[in-house]
Amino acid sequence: MPRYLGMFKYSAEGYQGLLKDKAAGREAATKKALESVGGKLVAMYWLVSGEYSGIGIWDFPDAASETALNALTASTGAFAKFKAIELLTSSEMDAALGKSMTYRAPGR
């Protein structure tokens, strides 16, 4: 199952929800949302300062499920910023690097 790192920054509206629900409540809601598309919450962490409010690591059955859930959550207005990055294991990265490829750099 593909694994993703999600980095999020709440909007003012999102922070109002966090104050009401508390961190444990938002984590439970995240877990439920992931499970609704066949995903799984691996870990969730809150950041006390910086560019993002928190990060999550989650598994999805496929990229379409990840995209669908991200579109739904983005439509709520709760996030000012959201970024999802697919994570690869060493064996997945080695398999990718072992593929036969051709490429010509610009101007060469």
Domains along the sequence of the chain with CATH? 3-90 (3.30.70.100)
What's the count of helices (H) and strands (E) in the chain, helices before strands? 3, 4
Q: In what helix (H) or strand (E) does residue 18 lie, and over which residues does it extend? A: helix 12-36
Strand partners, 40: 59
Which residue type occupies 92? Answer: E
Residue 77: Cβ within 10 Å count:
11
Token pair for 85: 């990055």
Q: What is the pTM of this model?
A: 0.86
Tell me which residue of 62, 79, 51, 68 sits closest to 4, measured CA to CA. 62
What are the per-10-residue average pLDDT scores of the chain (108 residues)? 96 96 97 97 95 97 95 94 96 96 93
